[in-house]
């Protein structure tokens, strides 16, 4: 498996500092969400090549997937994001879904999402990039977010029917939403492109809460998964110390 950090892991430090640290720790990528905040994409591309690691995932210019009136704007943002990814050599793009719209049947909103994703699919297939839809928990962090459960999220992906539209499975969010983490994280492996991890409660680094990440990551590894696992978490101690502890206490026991 490959491992990434998220921008902000080192507070008040820029993208280049993060990339150097990722290289130092022997990790493989950086999740930099708001690509449009980068002043010079070509400069970033050159620095990635020099350092030897780069951005592994970014985000869409977020607009609701369940609001049909925003479909054209969403698709325009997708086109812009794909062009940025071509410069930066990014192969994964994360999208949230937006909140439930009151007064419109849930099935209708789900159908709007599926249709929008179907229109996105050929763009990503042509570019060789994967669009990752992300379910989020509505109990603690994202009240009203449309997609929260794994089973419904997988159903959406299956209806879209494209190898370039998949899920990012966030263990923290799914633990809060539904539990049953190992069964869902491995049972839906064919629809998952990428994992996010953080402990619960608190959303801090693995080892600070209730989740047994040795067992979780071993189960994911045993499926043959060779994509990215991203530390999307805060840190209770110095970031470098936390990452070394993570490598020693969680990755080493599973042979990583």
pLDDT, mean over the chain: 98
On the question of pLDDT at 203 being above 90, the answer is yes
* Beta-ladder partners of 93: 58, 131
Question: Coil, strand, or helix at residue 5?
Answer: strand
Model-level pTM?
A: 0.97
Q: Where are the beta strands (DSSP E) in the chain?
A: 2-6, 29-31, 54-59, 92-95, 130-133, 165-170, 192-197, 228-231
* Burial label, 64 (beta-carbon count in 10 A; 0-12, 13-18, 19+): buried
pLDDT at 47 over 90: yes
Q: Is the pLDDT of residue 169 over 90?
A: yes
Q: Is the pLDDT confidence value at 75 over 90?
A: yes
Predicted confidence (pLDDT) at residue 37 exceeds the cutoff of 90: yes
Give residue 35's Cα distance to chain centre. 14
* CATH assignment at residue 199: 3.20.20.150
pLDDT at 201 over 90: yes
Contact predicate 198/204, CB 8 Å: yes
> What is the structure's pLDDT at 49?
97
Q: Determine the structural domain holding residue 26 and report its residue range.
A: 2-254
| Count of the separate structural domains present in the chain | 1
Note the pLDDT of residue 63: 87
- Give me the pLDDT at residue 62, please: 85
pLDDT of residue 92: 98
Q: How is residue 53 written in tokens?
A: 């690691």
Q: Return the half-sphere exposure (C-beta side, CA atoms, 13 A cut-off) of residue 174.
A: 24
Percent of the chain whose predicted confidence (pLDDT) is above 70: 100
- Residue 110: pLDDT over 90: yes
Average pLDDT over residues 34-52: 97
**Of 135, 112, 129, which Cα lies nearest the Cα of 78?**
129
């Amino acid at each position: 498996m490959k491992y990434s950090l998220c921008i902000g892991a080192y507070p008040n430090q820029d993208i280049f500092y993060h990339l150097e640290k990722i290289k130092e720790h022997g990790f493989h990528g950086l999740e930099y969400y708001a690509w449009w905040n980068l002043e010079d994409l070509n400069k970033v591309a050159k620095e990635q090549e020099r350092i030897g690691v780069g951005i592994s995932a970014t985000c869409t210019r977020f607009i609701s997937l369940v609001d049909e009136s925003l479909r054209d704007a969403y698709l325009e943002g997708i086109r812009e994001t794909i062009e940025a990814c071509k410069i930066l050599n990014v192969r994964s793009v994360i999208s949230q879904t937006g909140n439930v719209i009151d007064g419109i049947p849930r099935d209708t909103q789900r159908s709007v999402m599926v249709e929008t994703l179907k229109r996105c699919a050929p763009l990503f297939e042509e570019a060789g990039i994967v669009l990752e839809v992300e379910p989020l928990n509505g109990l603690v962090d994202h009240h009203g977010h449309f997609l929260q459960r794994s089973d419904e999220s997988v159903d959406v992906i299956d209806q879209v029917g494209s190898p370039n539209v998949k899920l990012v499975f966030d263990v923290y969010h799914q633990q809060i939403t539904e539990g049953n983490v190992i069964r869902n994280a491995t049972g839906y492996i064919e629809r998952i492109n990428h994992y996010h991890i953080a402990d619960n409660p608190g959303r801090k680094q693995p080892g600070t809460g209730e989740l047994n990440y040795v067992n979780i990551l071993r189960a994911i590894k045993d499926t043959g998964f060779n994509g990215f696992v991203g530390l999307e978490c805060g840190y209770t101690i110095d970031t470098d110390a936390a990452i070394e502890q993570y490598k020693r206490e969680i990755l080493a026991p599973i042979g990583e």
